[in-house]
Structure 1
Amino acid sequence: MRLVSLNANEIVRAAAHWIDRGVRLDTRTFAAELGISRSTLFRRAGNREDLMGDALWYLGNGTMDHAIRVFEKENGDAVRSATGELRCLAVMRQYRSDIAGNQGFRRLLAEEPTVAIRVLTDPRGRVQPRVMAAHVNLLGRDVEAGGFVPAVSLESLCYAIVRLGEAFLYSDVLASRAPDLDAASTLLAALVEGHVPASERTAGL
C-alpha cells in the first residue's frame, strides 16, 4: 500500500508501468494499489482517459529518448548515419519499431481499441499534441544542422509525419491490416527528403 502523498507525476509513472506490463488500467484497482481513493486519483490525475493519455505519453517520450540515444551511441553528433540515413528518420524508425514491439501497448490496442485510438490520436488530447511537438524538435535539429531543407513548415511536415505514422503503426486497429513499418519508413523518408533515399529503396511499399 502506497502513501497518500503521491503527486500527479508519480501517479502517471505508476500508470505507465501498468500499461507497460499489459495490466488493464482499472481506476478502482489502481487507486487501491496506490493507497488513495478514486476521488483523490481523479483530483490529482484526471479521469481514466486523461491518466491513460499521460501514461502513454510518458512511455512514448521515453521511447523517443531511447531512440535518440541509440543513434547517438552509433553516430555521435552526425546528422546522418554511416549508411546515409538522416538522423531524424533513423530515430523515428527506431521509435516506431520499439512502440510496435511493446507487448503492453499492443495488448492495450487489442483489448481496448476504441479507447486507445481515441486517446492516442485526439488532436486536443494528452498524447498527439506532445508527439507533434517532439517531432518538430527532432526534425528541427536536423534542419539547423543542414541535414535537409523542408519543403513546407516544420509544423505542417510533422503533422503529416505523425498522422502517416499513426496510420501504419495502428493499422491493425484502423484498417484491419498488419502494421508495415518498412513501408512507413520508405514513405516518411520520401516525405522528408523529397525522394526515397538509397538506404530506404530496398524497403519497398
Structure 2
Amino acid sequence: MGTATPAGHPAMHTFVAQHTETALQVMTSRDGVIQRRFVATIAQLIREDIGEFDDIAARTLAYAIVRIGESFYFRELITGEPDDIDAAATVIRRLLK
C-alpha cells in the first residue's frame, strides 16, 4: 500500500490495511469525529484567509474540499490507483479561484 495511511501511526496503518472498508467509513463519515473536525478546521481557515462568500457557506465549501482531499488521499484504497495529493491541491486551488 502507498502513502494512503497517516505516517507515524502504526495502529492506524494496521487498521486500514486489515479493515479497509470499515476504516474508510470511520475516517470519512460525515457523522464521525474525524470528518466533522476536518470540515470545521477547513471552514475556519477559509473564513480567516478568504472570508465569507455570498453564494456558498464556508462550511459547505470546506466539506467539498475535504471530500476532494479524501478521494485523492485514499485513491489507492478506493480505485487501486496511486494516491495523488498534488492533484487534490490543484483541484482545490482551482475551485478557490
TM-score by length of 1: 0.40
Instruction: Determine which structure has more spread, i.e. the larger CA radius of gyration.
Output: 1
Structure 1 unaligned blocks of 5 or more:
1-96, 194-205
Question: Within 1, Cα distance between the matches of 2:20 and 2:96?
Answer: 30
Aligned partners of 1:122 and 1:181: how far apart in 2? 20
Is 1:166 aligned to 2:73, yes or no? no
Is 2:19 the counterpart of 1:112? yes
Deviation at 1:101, TM superposition (A): 5.7
Alignment of 1:95-106 (within 5 A): 102-103=7-8, 104=10, 105-106=12-13
Identity %: 27
- SS of the residue corresponding to residue 50 of structure 2 reads helix
Q: Does 1:157 align with 2:61?
A: yes
Number of equivalences: 92
- Code of the residue aligned with 1:167 in structure 2: it is S
Deviations 1:111-166 (A, max 9, x none): 2211211111111112111111111111111024xxxx746221121111011111
> Would you say the 8 A contact 2:27–2:34 is kept in 1?
yes
Q: Is the 8 A contact 2:5 2:16 kept in 1?
A: no
Match of 1:140 among 31, 34, 47: 47
Task: Give secondary structure in 2 for the equivalent of 1:178.
Answer: coil
What is the rounded CA distance, in whole Å, between the counterparts of 1:108 and 1:179 in structure 2?
18
Instruction: Judge conservation of contact 1:168–1:184 (CA < 8 Å) in 2.
Output: yes
Letter in 2 for 1:156: T
Cα distance between partner residues in 2 of 1:173 and 1:121: 13
Counterpart contact for 1:157–1:192, Cα < 8 Å: no
Q: Which residue of 2 aligns with 1:176?
A: 80
| CA offsets 1:74-114 (integer angstroms, 9 cap, x no match) | xxxxxxxxxxxxxxxxxxxxxxx9x8560534443222211
